[in-house]
């Protein structure tokens, strides 16, 4: 499942790919994903409108124009791929966005003002797509209103204090606690395991038993891991690809995730695997307390 680093990398790539463009069409190949898509609202926000920005909030891609904002979630298996064709190239293509440069005469020689196409591909159809009119306060949207802070947009000290306060009296394990988007966004399964390993905290410890000092270390670890993953282009497992179809390389840097039975990179003890809320969890029993 694409997590914060993957969606951040995708936002940056799409922003660069579509710089100076306007939407000229949206083709819906089906009316629903996880839920029905408001086709008219999406077309109203995009078609004929100039693209203003492409950014990320949690795992949502926000595509803002001068008429509104489309809100896109990739779900478990979604991809947003740049293609040369207005026709579906990959199986399970559900939405195709068409864009052109606002001033085709200013386009590079090899571009020629040709349209660009973004294909939303989602084999499992857990993705979501909607849109709101310009001027809407996105923080009040039902998909976004209950989200916690962005871990890379506040200081490590502020993140640590926030986690410590939120965790007081919490009996559930610290790993699902930091994966809760209402607590802090974007720390998905891979990066939760990696952050807790770097911080030396066992993932099964009760969140309320982690000390303030340990949360300081964990906050720094979260920011380090997420920052490194973004620099590496994210982690490609199964479905995640960049908009150009390439893979992220952070998988080469993973310390524990997916390495059950292999030697810990610090102490050579075998990496162990367990489950929290039915999600695979990896840790070193010697290094993490």
Residues acting as catalytic residues: 2-3, 59, 279
**Which H or E run includes 14?**
helix 4-17
Secondary structure of residue 152 in the 3-state scheme: coil
Is residue 255 within 8 Å of residue 229, measured between CB atoms? no
Rounded Cα distance, 77 and 128, in Å = 11
Rounded Cα distance, 93 and 78, in Å = 10
**Which H or E run includes 12?**
helix 4-17
Residue 192 tokens read as 């939760």
Rounded Cα distance, 228 and 232, in Å = 6
In 94-173, which residue ranges form alpha helices assigned H by DSSP? 156-167
Selection from 77, 76, 79, 96 nearest residue 87 by Cα: 96
Strands (E), the chain: 21-28, 51-57, 60-65, 68-73, 79-83, 93-101, 116-121, 128-133, 271-276, 279-284
């Amino acid at each position: 499942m694409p997590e914060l680093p993957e969606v951040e990398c995708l936002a940056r790539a799409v922003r660069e790919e579509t710089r100076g463009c306007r939407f000229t069409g949206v083709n819906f190949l089906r009316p629903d994903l996880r839920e029905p898509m408001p086709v008219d609202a999406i077309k109203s926000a995009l078609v004929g409108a100039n693209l203003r920005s492409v950014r990320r909030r949690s795992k949502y891609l926000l595509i803002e124009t001068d008429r509104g904002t489309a809100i896109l979630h990739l779900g478990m298996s979604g991809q947003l791929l740049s293609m040369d064709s207005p026709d579906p190239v990959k199986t399970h293509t559900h939405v195709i966005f068409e864009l052109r440069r606002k001033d085709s005469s200013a386009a590079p020689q090899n571009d020629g003002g040709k349209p660009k196409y973004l294909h939303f591909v989602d084999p499992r159809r857990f993705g979501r797509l909607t849109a709101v009119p310009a001027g809407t306060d996105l923080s009040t949207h039902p998909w976004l209103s209950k989200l916690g802070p962005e871990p890379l947009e506040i200081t490590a000290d502020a993140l640590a204090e926030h986690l410590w306060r939120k965790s007081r009296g919490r009996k559930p394990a610290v790993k699902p606690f930091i994966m809760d988007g209402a607590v802090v966004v974007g720390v998905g399964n891979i990066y939760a395991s990696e952050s807790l390993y770097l911080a030396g905290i066992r993932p099964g410890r009760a969140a309320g038993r982690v000390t303030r000092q340990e949360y300081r270390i964990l906050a720094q670890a979260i920011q380090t891991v997420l920052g490194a993953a973004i620099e590496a282009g994210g982690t490609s497992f199964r479905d995640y690809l960049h908009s150009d179809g390439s893979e992220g390389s952070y998988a080469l840097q993973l310390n524990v995730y997916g390495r059950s039975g292999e030697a810990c990179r610090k102490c050579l003890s075998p990496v162990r695997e367990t489950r929290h809320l039915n999600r695979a969890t990896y840790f070193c029993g010697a290094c993490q307390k």
